Chain A
Amino acid sequence: MSKKKYWQSFGELNQTESFQEASKNEFQEELLPLSDLDDKGIMDAKTPRRDFLKYLGFSTAAAAVAASCEIPVRRAVPYLNRPDNIIPGVANYYASTYVNGGDTISVVVKQRDGRPIKIEGNELSTITNGGTSAQAQASVLDLYDNTRLRYPMEKTGKGFKEVPGFDAFDKMVAPAIVGKNVAILTGTINSPSTLLIIKDFLARYPGSRHVQYDAVSYSGMLQANEACYGKKAIPSYHFDKAKVIVSLGADFLGTWLSPTEFNNQYSQNRKVKGDKPELSQHFHFESMMSLTGSNADDRYTHKPSETGAVALALLAKLGGAVSAPSIADAKLAKGIDTAAAALTANKGAALVVCGSNDVNIQVIVNAINEAIGANGTSINWAMTSNYKNGIDGDMAKLVDDMSSGAVGAVLINGVNPAYSFSDSKKFKDALSKVVSVSFNGTMDETTELCKYIIPTHHWLESWGDAEPKTGYFSLMQPTINPLFKTRAFETSLLKWSAPAGSLMNDYETYFKTFWNAKLGSTDLYDKALQDGVVEPVAMAVGAASFNGGAVAAAATAIAAIKGGAIEVVFYQKVSVGNGSQANNPWLQELPDPVTKVTWDNYAMMSPAMAKSLLSLDVMNQAGGNQSDYEVHPEKPTVKITVGKNVVELPVIVIPGMNVSTIAVAVGYGRASANPEDTKNNIGRSANGAGKNVYPMVGFNGTNSYSAIATVEKTGNKYPLAQTQVHGFTESRPVIYETNLKSYNANPEALLEEVTKEREAITIGGSKDFVKDATMYPDFEKPGIKWGMSIDLNTCTGCSACVVACTAENNVSVVGKMQVQRAHEMHWLRIDRYFTGDLENPDVVFQPMLCQHCDNAPCENVCPVAATNHSSEGLNQMTYNRCIGTRYCANNCPYKVRRFNWLDYTGADSFPDNQNPMVGTYMDESVLQMNDDLTRMVLNPDVTVRSRGVIEKCSFCVQRLQETKLEAKKQGDPTLVRNVKTACMQACPTHAISFGNVNDKESDVYKIRNVDQKHRSFYVMEQLHVLPNVSYLAKVRNTDRHIGVEEEQHGEKKQDTKAHV
């Protein structure tokens, strides 16, 4: 057994009574139809016999009626004119670009019979290298969002009335904005053609301006760079060129700037390669437990107000001409020393990034990067990152000008300041004073207040381009005809500004002309469209000249920053981000990688703060109800006051939080002006999800995403749907981890225990663990044997795979109420384990999916053989055979089998049969998924499961069959190596490998048997279930011993045995 102790929750760590009770009662179900029978049992209920006869009679009659119905006549309606490039039943793939307010990811769109159904990464992009993010994966669902606006509208009185046709709209709006100072308010735009159109538009309307506004801004960096380098821009970062990475609160793997790109870069130096591997070293200083922080080798916490002090101290240590502030926390001070030493030792191969939006702090960070030689190496000024351009001051000025009348008309595209602007009330008032035109695709908080609405296309319906980095272009092409009467934002601008009779009055023509001219020929244009990316042959690398003049002033300003007893930091969740995709049920139901909470935002705090503030001692075993905290969804709430804004939020206690800091996510609490309209306007999934904390964001030249707060206990409770507490490992070792030094000294020691145990349970001295450690026969896999390998070193927990799996396999959304009951349906979950110091633990993410065991415990117990094994090593699940006994789920040691408790998909034969459940057992978000429009996202190759059956990961069997068929058609078995499961395709760090293990040339075979044989392990191998998913043990680049042995009486002792 591993000596290391990995725990998912405080209860597991302490083995509290309520935890043990909960784990004994693994499926805590109060069965729905019989729940009113109390505990008396069915025989003691009032009229069991009569009820039984009634039900029997009804079901017999119903069955008879259903059976005597005639088989319905089905129609097959072929095309009138079949487009040449569509073969019904065969998917087409088009390169395009996911763009959402500056976030840019090159993608390939899978289109079936004219419908986009899945987003995949574009492997031709050197920026993302084929990776995607959860939000990009989920954005295909936004295309079919039933709150999308369907036609242009004009506000009349309180409501809106449809404007018949675009020409009528143009005739109405163009005169309304003529002669006024027009402001175009957009998110960050990095599309060269759109920027050109805006420029031309501004030229036609003198006195007008273009304001770029980011809900979560990077204004501090942009302004600091202007001060230091003379460029109001963000350089390109190269995490792959840094041996030492220090992040000061920048969540660059989760939400900061361009996480997909950074995941890809970061992982390249985190892969264990060769005999004596080298890994980059990652130090993280932050106030909350972020995704990036949980991946760090060494992590230190501080209050948000101390970020500047940490930066200053670091600069001072690196020889900067600033006086180091005193750091009270000894651990933190030691951390700064260690990080500074590592940076000094790796000058020219080091990188410091900072998530603060304070100009002064960013100036200091620039000085640090200058001191460690990052400028020109890991920070590349030859090409800028064009993801975020918004300057907070510009937006503030715009709002002032709108109020004063200096701006007469506002054209709003893709942003929602009425929701996300810190002083939203001022913005709303200002908006009412100007002519307002909204181009937003849905009726959001801002659009509701606009006079004219002309919805723009979804990106999947649009032409377009993006230049995420200087010289690196990514093109967008429509993959479906516009579903509704929508028009491109650019077309509107062209129509309202182009001289009469101009042929360039729609964006499609403009785009084609623009790119044909830019690339020089139609052939090159076609190729660019097909590839989706236009990139320079060699990457330009260069430095910018640094002007240190601002450093001294910045240091003085930082020294003046005052902290508070309790501070609150505002962050973005990996799932919902800044809130623009808040009505996406896939994202809402995606558990946060660190807290595992779905559907809500909350106040994250440390166990120590929970104890002092709420008397909630999560570590106290004898505390009666207190230790119930984790077991029940109802969490105590606190009232957080920042200035005059108050918000009441439930508390999630997370180890690794700074003791004086509370973290709250933005992007939640979307609501219409009239709360009753939220459901219809903003959407059923966004309705009621969390609270909006954007109003608490301060403005002091730039937006400040932290604040001094007062917090008080309320005594109220609020349920949170958390998935983390649903599965237990019963303290079986599932994670193996070591540090780099130990690994390099003796790689075999890492999995020594596993090897020994394996030998111990193999009978008769035989070496064959597979055949001889069991009484079951060994079934051969004569052709293909599928296998997967997941690298725990490069899995960062970003969760793109979870959404990709949901999209690919029609995994249902169950809604908050059902997640609370542990009924979430995800086939692939990412388990998060803490280990070590309770105040600042190490975190390991482990993607957990069906392990496709060759000796599967689930298969033996199925009474109807609905789950059985294929000759290719797949654990097959046959929904139509399943009668729902759930024995298999009980017997699965990995807890990956999910049961359809309700008819989530509307697959059962009677329409609307789940409606009566809504409000009591089911959330409306489930109905959102069953809307005819939304159902267009379903993958037609995967069965939609009905109520009462078990489902689980199939290794994307539809993709395996498709690839095999292609290989058979071509008569070439090597084509099987091209197979990619959805999770593997989505992964930005390429942590997942998949293939035919029988093929000695396959990646998986090589990883398991050659390249990574010292790290490759199976979870709970000693059960001899023979999983087909192997994991690569985590190797951390730190001097600390990883994992601490936990004795029964709670004493901690360094584990020396496992680390030679």
Chain B
Amino acid sequence: MSRYRKIFNRLFTSIFLVVLLSINVESLAQDGAALFKANCASCHKVDKVFTGPALQGWKDRVPGDGWIYKWIANPAAQTDPYATTLKAQYKPTVMTAFPQFKKEDVDAIMKYVDDWKPPVTDVPKSGAPDGSGDSLLFGILTLVLALIAFILLQVNSNLRKLSDEKEGVMHPEPVPVYKNKTYLMAGILLLFLVGGFYTINGAVNLGRQKNYQPEQPIFYSHQVHAGTNQISCLYCHGGAQDSKQASIPSVNQCMNCHKSINKYEGPDVLVRDDGSAVDGTAEIQKLYAYAGWNETTKTYNPDNNKDGIPDGARPIEWVKVHNLPDHVYFNHSQHIKVGKQDCQTCHGNIQQMPEVYQFTELSMGWCINCHRETKVDFYNKDDKSGNKFYSIYEKFHNDLKNHKMDSVTVEAIGGTECQKCHY
């Protein structure tokens, strides 16, 4: 009994310690987060190069322990080799000095940076939850268990052999493990299963482009236009409410605003994914080249070659980010106008994207999932609310009344049938 108590005590103490430690970490990190957001976030991101360098992994880069405190207190005064390279890299910007920070403050910030994990976006989930971390854990666990089982089996067979020998029962020469047919078969089977799993997964994912973020002919920031300047999505993508295609605005539509806006002076700093800075004004110049607009005279180029458009003007060849296969019929207006969906449901927080990437999988499973879960704007015969089109669904009206069903999903009105999207 005393033996168990000992174990119990040990266990209790360790759990207590772990909990205490984690609470402690939490409080420190929270301070760090507040400090980071208030002071650093306008120029630094943890995982991305922004105006300043990405902070993740700072410990491996900085020379020595105390360097970081000195640097933060007064960056301009630092002349060591690392500081010099940093300054050269981010010329002409030099980091603002923070002499008011105490050592603990810096520690808290750096702790926050070290513990930082990419935030889970609060926009609707896309498809199945990300289970990669779990599966790794389970995989390792399975491997360990399999190894233990293998060792135990070996031990068992050895012991039996020994005991049998003791009793005088003779055995043929044991087959080494690598020649044992059972093990070989099991190994092949395992290889087949694992290989098959990955092959099929890979095949299924062929042609899918989640997170696809191609470089566009003009660095066009949705963050600047839709985020900071709050331009309605439908101003440029008007097709979304009328047509199957949301449509990319024509150059003349860009020029509606950019005839007068010829310089980028916005608050958002334009940075490419690889960290290189973007000159917004230069990007507007590119637009002028496409439009055939002469900025100095504030007029379109003359049409000397009589092709009906200003000389030099040509349409912009954007790289298409969201590609559906040819056999899929997708209608934007169905989702925007009838389904009353937000653009963000499928395109993510587009107003925060400097350059657009594919936010969702755009796979059939993903579509179907949403159709299964989403409720239609079903007509309510009593208060005459909802879309009157659905008044013809007599059966569902009765079922709702009799509480046989509580809501009508897209699936119920045929939203998962083949010829909704394939014809």
CB nearest neighbor in A for B413: A783
Report the bound CA distance from A918 to B413 in whole Å: 47
A882 to chain B, nearest CB (A): 11
Q: Are B209 and A80 in contact (CB under 8 A)?
A: no
B371-409: CB near A (< 8 Å → 1, else 0) gives: 000000000000000011111111110000000000000
Q: Which residues of A contact B320 (CB under 8 A)?
A: 74-76
Partner of A874, one of B243, B247, B419: B419
A72-101: CB near B (< 8 Å → 1, else 0) gives: 011111111110000111100000000000
A716 at the interface (CB under 8 A from B): no
Q: Are B329 and A941 in contact (CB under 8 A)?
A: yes
Partner of A870, one of B252, B337, B387, B417: B417
Q: Are B250 and A969 in contact (CB under 8 A)?
A: no
B318 at the interface (CB under 8 A from A): yes
Q: Are A88 and B423 in contact (CB under 8 A)?
A: no
B265 at the interface (CB under 8 A from A): no
Q: Which residues of B contact A268 (CB under 8 A)?
A: none
B7 at the interface (CB under 8 A from A): no
B185 at the interface (CB under 8 A from A): no
Report the bound CA distance from A941 to B329 in whole Å: 7
B72 at the interface (CB under 8 A from A): no
Q: Which residues of B contact A81 (CB under 8 A)?
A: 250-252, 309
**A–B Cβ pairs within 8 angstroms, 9 of them:** A74-B320, A75-B317, A78-B318, A80-B313, A89-B245, A782-B394, A942-B423, A954-B423, A969-B337
Report the bound CA distance from A973 to B389 in whole Å: 5
Q: Which residues of A contact B250 (CB under 8 A)?
A: 78-82
A848 at the interface (CB under 8 A from B): no
A880 at the interface (CB under 8 A from B): yes
Q: Which residues of B contact A998 (CB under 8 A)?
A: 392
B211 to chain A, nearest CB (A): 13
A residues within 8 Å of B by Cβ? 67, 71, 73-82, 87-90, 780, 782-784, 868, 870-872, 874, 876-881, 941-944, 954, 957-958, 961, 964-965, 967-973, 996, 998-999
Report the bound CA distance from A999 to B394 in whole Å: 11
Report the bound CA distance from A638 to B245 in whole Å: 58
A166 to chain B, nearest CB (A): 14
B334 at the interface (CB under 8 A from A): yes
Q: Are B243 and A77 in contact (CB under 8 A)?
A: no
CB nearest neighbor in A for B392: A973
Q: Are A965 and B388 in contact (CB under 8 A)?
A: no
Q: Are A879 and B419 in contact (CB under 8 A)?
A: no
Q: Are B392 and A784 in contact (CB under 8 A)?
A: yes
A961 to chain B, nearest CB (A): 8
Question: Which of B248, B323, B389 has the most CB atoms of chain A within a 10 A radius of its CB?
Answer: B389
B126 at the interface (CB under 8 A from A): no
Q: Are A73 and B423 in contact (CB under 8 A)?
A: no
B206 at the interface (CB under 8 A from A): yes
Partner of A80, one of B251, B325, B396, B412: B251
CB nearest neighbor in B for A881: B418
Report the bound CA distance from A74 to B207 in whole Å: 12
Q: Which residues of A contact B418 (CB under 8 A)?
A: 868, 870, 876-878, 881
Report the bound CA distance from A996 to B248 in whole Å: 36
B205-219: CB near A (< 8 Å → 1, else 0) gives: 011010000100000
Report the bound CA distance from A67 to B417 in whole Å: 29
Report the bound CA distance from A878 to B252 in whole Å: 40
Q: Which residues of A contact B323 (CB under 8 A)?
A: 71, 74
CB nearest neighbor in B for A998: B392
Q: Which residues of A contact B334 (CB under 8 A)?
A: 965, 968
Report the bound CA distance from A996 to B392 in whole Å: 11
Report the bound CA distance from A817 to B244 in whole Å: 39
Report the bound CA distance from A82 to B250 in whole Å: 6
B327 at the interface (CB under 8 A from A): yes
CB nearest neighbor in A for B396: A782
Q: Which residues of A contact B51 (CB under 8 A)?
A: none
B315 at the interface (CB under 8 A from A): yes
Q: Are B389 and A79 in contact (CB under 8 A)?
A: no
Q: Are A78 and B239 in contact (CB under 8 A)?
A: no
Report the bound CA distance from A783 to B412 in whole Å: 10
Q: Which residues of A contact B247 (CB under 8 A)?
A: 78, 87-89
Q: Which residues of A contact B413 (CB under 8 A)?
A: 782-783, 871
Q: Are B393 and A783 in contact (CB under 8 A)?
A: yes
Say whether, besides A79-B315, A782-B396, A968 and B422 are in contact (CB < 8 Å). no
Say whether, besides A957-B419, A969-B337, A870 and B414 are in contact (CB < 8 Å). yes
Partner of B315, one of A80, A961, A968, A970: A80
Q: Which residues of B contact A89 (CB under 8 A)?
A: 239, 243-245, 247
B372 to chain A, nearest CB (A): 15
Report the bound CA distance from A372 to B247 in whole Å: 64
Question: Which of B253, B317, B387 has the most CB atoms of chain A within a 10 A radius of its CB?
Answer: B387
B333 at the interface (CB under 8 A from A): yes
Q: Which residues of B contact A88 (CB under 8 A)?
A: 239, 243, 245, 247
Q: Are B252 and A971 in contact (CB under 8 A)?
A: no
Q: Which of B311-337 contact A (CB under 8 A)?
A: 313-320, 323, 325-327, 329, 331, 333-334, 337
Q: Which residues of B contact A71 (CB under 8 A)?
A: 207, 209, 323
Q: Which residues of A contact B412 (CB under 8 A)?
A: 782
Partner of B422, one of A783, A943, A971: A943
B147 at the interface (CB under 8 A from A): no
B326 to chain A, nearest CB (A): 7
Q: Are A77 and B214 in contact (CB under 8 A)?
A: no
Given contacts A78-B249, A88-B239, 16 further A-B contacts (CB under 8 A): A67-B206, A73-B214, A76-B320, A77-B317, A78-B248, A80-B290, A87-B242, A90-B242, A782-B412, A942-B423, A943-B327, A943-B422, A957-B419, A961-B423, A969-B338, A999-B392
Report the bound CA distance from A996 to B318 in whole Å: 43
Report the bound CA distance from A245 to B331 in whole Å: 51
Q: Which residues of B contact A73 (CB under 8 A)?
A: 214, 319
CB nearest neighbor in A for B397: A782
Q: Are B422 and A879 in contact (CB under 8 A)?
A: yes
CB nearest neighbor in A for B236: A78
B241-270: CB near A (< 8 Å → 1, else 0) gives: 011110111111100000000000000000
Say whether, besides A77-B318, A78-B249, A968-B389, A880 and B422 are in contact (CB < 8 Å). yes
Q: Which residues of A contact B319 (CB under 8 A)?
A: 73-76
Report the bound CA distance from A78 to B239 in whole Å: 12
A1038 to chain B, nearest CB (A): 44
Q: Which residues of B contact A77 (CB under 8 A)?
A: 315-318
Report the bound CA distance from A73 to B242 in whole Å: 27
B128 at the interface (CB under 8 A from A): no
Q: Are A82 and B252 in contact (CB under 8 A)?
A: yes
B1 at the interface (CB under 8 A from A): no
CB nearest neighbor in A for B326: A943
Q: Are B389 and A971 in contact (CB under 8 A)?
A: yes
Q: Which residues of B contact A75 (CB under 8 A)?
A: 317-320
B203 at the interface (CB under 8 A from A): yes
Report the bound CA distance from A618 to B79 in whole Å: 107
Report the bound CA distance from A871 to B249 in whole Å: 38
Say whether, besides A879-B327, A965-B333, A972 and B389 are in contact (CB < 8 Å). yes
Q: Which of B22-61 contact A (CB under 8 A)?
A: none
Report the bound CA distance from A236 to B306 in whole Å: 49
Q: Are B243 and A90 in contact (CB under 8 A)?
A: yes
A727 to chain B, nearest CB (A): 25
B260 to chain A, nearest CB (A): 19
Q: Which residues of B contact A782 (CB under 8 A)?
A: 393-396, 412-413
Q: Are B423 and A965 in contact (CB under 8 A)?
A: no
Q: Are B391 and A968 in contact (CB under 8 A)?
A: no
Report the bound CA distance from A241 to B412 in whole Å: 51
Partner of A957, one of B337, B391, B423: B423
Q: Are A972 and B309 in contact (CB under 8 A)?
A: no
Report the bound CA distance from A971 to B338 in whole Å: 9
B118 to chain A, nearest CB (A): 25
B190 to chain A, nearest CB (A): 23
Report the bound CA distance from A748 to B315 in whole Å: 67
Q: Are A876 and B309 in contact (CB under 8 A)?
A: no
Q: Which residues of B contact A972 (CB under 8 A)?
A: 388-389
CB nearest neighbor in A for B309: A80
